[in-house]
Structure 1
């Protein structure tokens, strides 16, 4: 418990999954803006940089209601950004019990904690609630998930419609970025490393997404907070691209030979969970109501390149 945080007159934002890529970006954006107090939460020890300062971290297992209620009773956040989720689509398909616990049960617990504090609840959802037949999708499109991960997300969205206080649902799409500790890779790092090592890379050209820079998604969430916006918002990139397209753009940015990038299709890859072929999100509503302005994919690559250099990251 941090007494100074409790005494702060700034609105308090509680972030679940603060150790993850999106959670880290949200906390950092809050600290940069300086308008809010950040209450970072996560399972296990804090993995946020201690040098950031200005935030409080509370260990909280969101699958355990008692832990959730203890934190909410102490901090009484004005806003909650629920970014924690089990997102490994194949793992969700195989271990449905764990997926249900982390995506459905855990969100029900967060809803109870949020209701206790009368918080504005912001839930992070996904384009995988759609079947991929008619993308890109707007906020009024009819969901029809084709894998278990997508089903848990739309089931949770449905439950949030009955939340008794203000709520927002953020649907996003293929989030990429670099965590401060380089704890996860992404298509940009993978392609760059592979081409530098003269490897042959096979990428599909029949799956369409609107890839989302993690910093843009964090900014979109805070725009919702700033405007007290409610309802469903698509927050993603604005370019409909295939993984093959993304690889070519990455190679061109780093001036690498594209001859090692092979075009293929989804039938070649055997994956446990079905993937929708053409999703992507229409972000007109977020642009008009929130003033959301995402980076282009090439601009996103440039941001990651700068972060790699600053971190002295060795590929």
Structure 2
């Protein structure tokens, strides 16, 4: 099987490269906008800007992958609100370019989406619950889902949320690493208690994508962690696990922050479909922290 990954320098992208590196029956093409940030391996790395229709066509037609996993996106929610043109270009137009190229190679297309397509009024959510996006980011991701659903391609949409983890060359942090670093630096932090998510270990998300690719499992999939927590719960658990000062964490509600983009209050995913049809089983949040701790020792 030949697999092409977009966004291979990101957290999920790097975890997918690691997973596929250990599979002898997979020929891997890792792509990203800049220089390769993954450790050296047997895979091919090729620069590809997914906002360039010409580059996308050139690379995909050259390699003719059986499976394309699109992990690349503009995910900074407030930045999307402030720069809707860039958001549209990366989260919607680029997906249209990938769809066009995949049609020519009959590639199975796995596309990453988000819990933010829901309004947070009735979480946790199953795959067939009705979306109601609250922000430009959420709208762009829902629009990209609709493009894929209307494309005629064989596809899977993988919705996930609040991905955490570490790789050897990180371009951006995540909530767990931010809390840990802040407390180690003896900084006081304010963390919200009125939003609920099922935080997702990057390894679990990568495993979910690989299971879908192996089975060519079509349709929409919810792939996340299993514990419904507030960011405050996560911060307290992180402090406890790493034996840091919990008194530095102040519990607040979201109204104290002025953010350009509106966030859904309570999302979280119901994982019954993925458990039943993919045999997907994520680790608990505490197990995820233990995995992270082991990895931090080697980074």
Please give the TM-score of this superposition, normalised by the length of structure 1: 0.93
Instruction: Give the 5 Å matches for 1:115-194.
Output: 115-194=103-182
CA RMSD in angstroms, aligned pairs only: 1.0
Shift of 1:99: 0.4
For structure 1, the 5+ residue unaligned runs are 1-10
User: Is it true that 1:30 corresponds to 2:20 in the alignment?
Assistant: yes
Q: What's the secondary structure of 1:99's corresponding residue?
A: helix
Stretch of structure 1 that moved more, 129-138 or 178-187:
178-187
Which residue in 2 is equivalent to 1:5? none
Instruction: Give the 5 Å matches for 1:37-186.
Output: 37-50=27-40, 53-186=41-174
Shift of 1:196: 2.4
- What per-residue deviation string (whole Å, max 9, x for no partner) do you get for residues 64-113 of structure 1? 11111111111100001011000010110010001000010000000011
Shift of 1:182: 3.5
Is residue 11–residue 170 contact of structure 2 (8 Å, CA) maintained in 1?
Answer: no
Which residue in 2 is equivalent to 1:208? 196
Please give the TM-score of this superposition, normalised by the length of structure 2: 0.98
Which residue in 2 is equivalent to 1:15? 5
Q: What's the secondary structure of 1:310's corresponding residue?
A: coil
Q: Distance in 1 between matches of 2:141 and 2:183?
A: 35
Pick the aligned partner of 2:213 from 216, 219, 225: 225
Is residue 178–residue 184 contact of structure 1 (8 Å, CA) maintained in 2?
Answer: no
User: Is it true that 1:267 corresponds to 2:290 in the alignment?
Assistant: no
Q: What's the secondary structure of 1:15's corresponding residue?
A: strand
